Structure 1
Amino acid sequence: MCALKIDFGQWTAAGEKAVNQDACAARIPVGPDLDTKGITIAIADGIGSSEVSDIASQTAVEAIVSDYYSTSAAWSVKNALSKVVNATNGWLHARTDNSWARYDKDRGYVCTLTTLVLKGRTAHCVHVGDTRACRFTPTAAEPLTRDHHAVGVDGKAALSRAIGVQAAVELDYATSQFDIGDWFVLTTDGVHEFVSEQALGAHLRSDQSCQDIARALCQTALENGSNDNVTAQVLRIEQAPDKDTDEWLRGSETLPLPPDLQPGDPLDEFRVIREVHRSHRSSALLAQHRDSDQYALIKVPSVELRDDPAAMERFIAEEWIAARVSSAFVLRPFPRTLKPQYLYAAFEYIEGLSLRQWMRDHPRPSLAEVREIISQIGYGLRAMHRQEMLHQDLRPENVMIDAQGEVKIIDFGAVEVRGVAENHQERPRQILGTQQYSAPEYFLGSNGTERSDTYSLGVIAYEMLTGDLPYGPAAAKVRQVSDLRKLRYQPLQRKRRECPDWLNAVLSTACHPRYEQRYADVSEFIHALYHGNDLGYTARRQPLIDRDPVTFWQVVAVLLSLLIILQWAML
């Protein structure tokens, strides 16, 4: 695999001013961080009316190139950068509010900021203020930022948005696909207001290094009369990944499959005890660690899976995903002490039964039992959603219940990780989950959201109570938007008359055909499941034909008979 490689240079100078209030920084990591987080470049510009703006600028760029790499590898670049910038903004704003500048924010800890992250073959730009970032190809220039200026009553443009001015900051976000040979240039206004696009292009076409070009841009600006600080960052794409790469594939794709394992056979640091489960995708084995004597669940991909690269990626990803979700309700990976010699995944072993088996053993569970299980599944989903992960295959077979009644979500073969999915934007959409539990938007070709997992959880809750699916098999047959209107939710009372109307309303909201009508967060669904009656949930009155079609047609037949008799009587 080819790793991302750039030529990079930056230059900053105070110019005619006594203090340089600009700041710039970059981080070009090696190893896994290059794949999962990418290369980061940041540039900031202080405000002339502030005597401490240089502190704000330096703080902002240092936070970007350090704190960004402390965020979860599962997060999207946009989310990770937004978290870091908003935290930095809050800190600078609080410092201003506790200083002499609390009534005049322009004198406080404020600055502009532009950040560029190169990950895979995509450039992500987060921006506020009037620093600039632009991508240059051999034939065109693509601005990634716009100046945040407002024209005052005097007709002059003034900065309208900056870091540290308000408690919350509004950020611009843009992306751009790049290729080998492309350039990116970041500048402060002391440079781009005094260097024409033609002059900049001439510098990029020279044979100089990026470091020399950055210095030349600043010198050109000063020669053209710039009376401000000058800062420029220049980078050129020297090498780009041949394809989108993922950290978990590094080295794993070359490992051989284990031999046909029998009870008692060794597997690295484990000893196989027995086979637990086998499918066309993989086999699951109960094993014991040779040093700790702890039990582990070993998953081995099937030979047929080896011929499907996408499926192999998802298999290898499962252990990586499990390691990045901290929740008692999500399956954990088994800690390994040796480098594996074969391709397999190791997880904690759960001695219990699947939710599907539990449902067979408890065909008419109480509402309290359903609440307890659904809430635990919901807590696990919420932990995954905080890591910007969608399970996408939530079903009774993928939920385990141990002897103490504790629930764990298992099987991460269909999980979408936003921080990884943004590297695979050109891949066609696939429905990876089981159709009966997949939200209708998947069948319409749309991307899933957290509400899609909520739909699956709502369907499971409905099935636990009734033994059926809320729309029968019809939900899996949706292929166009008009099909959504044809779906008919079957009221709970048809199967269990004792179910209250408020519970029917809660479940019909959780698994509504249109995602925008569902709960925005799984925690809202859990709360409504416990407090729906107190919150005043009332079911939308279903037409009689939906609630009881037999009675409906009996009433219609009686009315028609009465009408015929009345007509005869009038003859």
Structure 2
Amino acid sequence: MQSGLSLSFGHAFVAPDHRRHRSSMSVQIPENARQLESKGACAIIADSTWRNAIARQASDISVRGFLSDYYSTPDHWDIKTSATRVLRALNGWCYSQSRYVQGGSYISSLSAVIFRSRESFLFHMGDTLVFRLRGAEFEQLSRDHVTDLGGYRYPSRALGMDNNIDIDHMSLPLKQGDVFLFTSQAVRGTLTPTDYVHAIRQRDSDLDAACERLADMARERAGARGYGAETFCFQLVRIDALPEEDMGSPVQLPGQLPIPAELEVGDRLDGFVIESIISRTARAHVYGVRDETSLRRMVMKVPSPELSSRNTYLEHFLLQQWIGERVRSTFVVRVVSPPRPRRHLYYLMRPVEGLPLDRWLEQHPEASIDQRLDIARQLARAVHSLHRRDILHQAIRPDNIMIDQHEQVVLIDFGACARRLDDDNNAALALARDGGLGMHSAPEYALKLGVSRRSDQYSLASTIYWLLTGIMPYAIAPDTLDSEEALSTLDYRPARRINPRVPASLDIALERALSPRRALRFRRLSELVQALRHATASADEGGADDMVSLPEKRQPAAPRQGTLRLWQGIAAALLLLVVIMMFQ
């Protein structure tokens, strides 16, 4: 007997001219048991409203984009949260891209059904059709959102049609033998419910053959009525087996795992030996561990036992793990998969053999400006990789920046990270304040104003400024401000005044990125990255000199005085020559 969810599926297209085809379908069943348990299997169909080349792109992007992003959402998000957030993000992208397209748009109807355990979840926009066949009962699950204009029916509430989207959502219990049919609005008027039931039941052992039979019947009926069938498509999904009702969850989800008690050196947990205690805070404990089987060393982060009842923090702890697993950058610490099933709540990271940036500079006071600019560029790329995933770090400061023996930068600590939901994310603000502000925090954190990517931009620029000059950009610490009016008291100290080797173009870029008012900073971090990319130390000599004593070591007066005397001598000789020529 099957011990879990099992599905069969088939599909068929009617596409006499593939260039005009505008529908896409797919079924995805995760091979990983944990992902199947947490996210389920998904069947989806998308159908564009346009009859041109971009129509196929619109439907393909909708299907591939949803499947990719849905299965990348955190495991502790429920089905509705994961699907609706992905659909809203996808809708915003399609709507924004349509403004740059002539003669078409990224608009498509979309229906997705997620099958998990003994339940199904339908998400629907537009006029695609989803039916369920249970026994002899054949019923439509989706609602037609259409508008009649001049005798033609157009989809409404479709993906990409408006910046705000209204998503139909419903959940239905599953029964073994249920068959779900996905098709497009074009099939309306060709087949009857009896046709569907007969075609499916006569070929229920081969769902691809059943879909082909439906396609043939629809094409014949459409031809008899005198209209084309280039947009017909059919997809069938059958529930072959369901988990037993009383068997419980075969795979325990991360949010259900117990938090381990406080650990000491020598203790063992899930096959790991605690070798060192890296840090202990009120929020989390971080240990250096060794795998007893492979002898591999890793870093283990565990929620503080005192926070076991705080669901909000535990959800954020799981988000930290998700961020470390999804962000692929050599400049951001990497979360690694545990070699065995976990019995406690924690996550593992690759160890970074190196020093925090502030301690590294203490040990390398002679570091040249080229070295420091290289560190700045790496750090900017680390932050940029987070922003590409719509993640705010919110704690960019020297003690969270590791430098290894090869001067490789690794940004660590996801403790204050947040997903960027909008430009004024109050949840992210509260999270950063709870973790503690510092002298590199943007002023909006202290003033409890909205935060965004530009807040990370400020912290990055502040850290780079400190890296190049050894001081802070303002005499007053921004994290001590108590009113918005106090922003006008912040007076930027040009970096070149402290260290003349800082390129002028970079100093200008830093000043803008460090603007006390968030709206005046760069719109995109890439603009600051570009300034760093073009900054060089070749404009000044002596790049290996000690950065702190750099202004005192330069003695430009003597060379300029010798040059002045040379030109004075040349001018006197020329004047004498002119006088002699006048009296000849």
Match of 2:67 in 1: 69
User: Residues 402-481 of structure 1 correspond to what in structure 2 (within 5 A)?
Assistant: 402-417=404-419, 428=427, 430-433=429-432, 434-436=436-438, 437-442=440-445, 443-449=447-453, 451-464=454-467, 465-470=469-474, 472-474=476-478, 477=481
Alpha-carbon distance between aligned partners in 2 of 1:260 and 1:302, rounded to the nearest angstrom: 8
Counterpart code for 1:510: A
- TM-score w.r.t. length of structure 2: 0.58
Counterpart code for 2:257: L
Which has the larger displacement, 308-317 or 256-265? 256-265
- TM-score w.r.t. length of structure 1: 0.59
User: Residues 90-169 of structure 1 correspond to what in structure 2 (within 5 A)?
Assistant: 113-116=108-111, 132=127
Alpha-carbon distance between aligned partners in 1 of 2:277 and 2:474, rounded to the nearest angstrom: 35
CA deviation profile, 1:319-378 (whole Å, cap 9, x unmatched): 332121221111112442111222222111122221232344457864333312221111
| Other structure's SS at 2:460 match | helix
Query: Does the 8 Å CA contact 2:429/2:450 hold for their aligned counterparts?
Result: no
CA deviation after TM superposition for structure 1 residue 527, in Å = 2.9
- CA 1:27–1:361: 2 relative to 1, 3 Å: same
Among 158, 166, 171, the alignment partner of 1:176 is 166
Counterpart code for 1:457: L
Unpaired segments of 5 or more residues in structure 2? 1-10, 15-19, 75-84, 115-119, 130-141, 173-181, 201-213, 235-250, 540-584
Counterpart code for 2:405: A
Query: Does the 8 Å CA contact 1:391/1:453 hold for their aligned counterparts?
Result: yes
- CA 1:503–1:470: 2 relative to 1, 3 Å: farther
- CA 1:70–1:33: 2 relative to 1, 3 Å: farther
CA deviation after TM superposition for structure 1 residue 505, in Å = 1.6
Query: Does the 8 Å CA contact 1:273/1:287 hold for their aligned counterparts?
Result: yes
CA deviation after TM superposition for structure 1 residue 408, in Å = 0.5
- CA 1:132–1:337: 2 relative to 1, 3 Å: same
Alpha-carbon distance between aligned partners in 1 of 2:67 and 2:143, rounded to the nearest angstrom: 27
Alpha-carbon distance between aligned partners in 2 of 1:487 and 1:250, rounded to the nearest angstrom: 54
- CA 1:328–1:45: 2 relative to 1, 3 Å: closer
Match of 1:262 in 2: 264
- CA 1:522–1:111: 2 relative to 1, 3 Å: closer
Query: Does the 8 Å CA contact 1:439/1:513 hold for their aligned counterparts?
Result: yes
Match of 2:513 in 1: 510
User: Residues 133-532 of structure 1 correspond to what in structure 2 (within 5 A)?
Assistant: 172-176=162-166, 251-361=253-363, 366-417=368-419, 428=427, 430-433=429-432, 434-436=436-438, 437-442=440-445, 443-449=447-453, 451-464=454-467, 465-470=469-474, 472-474=476-478, 477=481, 482-483=484-485, 485-492=487-494, 496=498, 498=500, 501-531=504-534
Alpha-carbon distance between aligned partners in 2 of 1:484 and 1:29, rounded to the nearest angstrom: 56
- CA 1:263–1:190: 2 relative to 1, 3 Å: closer
Query: Does the 8 Å CA contact 1:459/1:470 hold for their aligned counterparts?
Result: no
Identity of aligned residues (%): 23
CA deviation profile, 1:374-424 (whole Å, cap 9, x unmatched): 211112122222233221221222111122221101111222235xx59xx
Query: Does the 8 Å CA contact 2:429/2:448 hold for their aligned counterparts?
Result: no
Counterpart code for 1:174: N
CA deviation profile, 1:246-273 (whole Å, cap 9, x unmatched): xxx9622332233443322222222121
Alpha-carbon distance between aligned partners in 2 of 1:441 and 1:12, rounded to the nearest angstrom: 55
Aligned length: 443
Unpaired segments of 5 or more residues in structure 1? 1-10, 15-19, 94-104, 126-130, 135-140, 150-154, 160-168, 195-202, 234-248, 537-571
- Largest Rg, 1 or 2: 2
Counterpart code for 1:113: S
Match of 2:564 in 1: none
Alpha-carbon distance between aligned partners in 2 of 1:39 and 1:487, rounded to the nearest angstrom: 56
Alpha-carbon distance between aligned partners in 1 of 2:92 and 2:39, rounded to the nearest angstrom: 17
| Other structure's SS at 1:346 match | strand
Which has the larger displacement, 383-392 or 356-365? 356-365
CA deviation profile, 1:420-468 (whole Å, cap 9, x unmatched): x59xx9985543234333334554542522x322211001112232332
Alpha-carbon distance between aligned partners in 2 of 1:170 and 1:254, rounded to the nearest angstrom: 37
- CA 1:486–1:283: 2 relative to 1, 3 Å: same
Alpha-carbon distance between aligned partners in 2 of 1:509 and 1:358, rounded to the nearest angstrom: 28
Query: Does the 8 Å CA contact 1:329/1:409 hold for their aligned counterparts?
Result: yes
Counterpart code for 1:176: D
Alpha-carbon distance between aligned partners in 2 of 1:427 and 1:488, rounded to the nearest angstrom: 24
- CA 1:232–1:40: 2 relative to 1, 3 Å: same
CA deviation after TM superposition for structure 1 residue 472, in Å = 2.8
| Other structure's SS at 1:44 match | strand
Query: Does the 8 Å CA contact 1:74/1:389 hold for their aligned counterparts?
Result: no
| Other structure's SS at 2:294 match | coil
Alpha-carbon distance between aligned partners in 1 of 2:145 and 2:462, rounded to the nearest angstrom: 43
- CA 1:124–1:492: 2 relative to 1, 3 Å: farther
| Other structure's SS at 1:400 match | strand
- CA 1:275–1:517: 2 relative to 1, 3 Å: same
Alpha-carbon distance between aligned partners in 1 of 2:94 and 2:302, rounded to the nearest angstrom: 42
Query: Does the 8 Å CA contact 1:68/1:80 hold for their aligned counterparts?
Result: no
CA deviation after TM superposition for structure 1 residue 116, in Å = 5.0
CA deviation profile, 1:61-85 (whole Å, cap 9, x unmatched): 5664456424572596369747997
- CA 1:24–1:532: 2 relative to 1, 3 Å: closer
Alpha-carbon distance between aligned partners in 2 of 1:387 and 1:35, rounded to the nearest angstrom: 22
Alpha-carbon distance between aligned partners in 2 of 1:530 and 1:369, rounded to the nearest angstrom: 13
CA deviation after TM superposition for structure 1 residue 24, in Å = 6.2
CA deviation after TM superposition for structure 1 residue 133, in Å = 7.4
- CA 1:474–1:336: 2 relative to 1, 3 Å: closer
| Other structure's SS at 1:486 match | helix
The alignment yields a C-alpha RMSD, in angstroms, of 5.9
Query: Does the 8 Å CA contact 1:355/1:396 hold for their aligned counterparts?
Result: yes
Alpha-carbon distance between aligned partners in 2 of 1:493 and 1:26, rounded to the nearest angstrom: 55
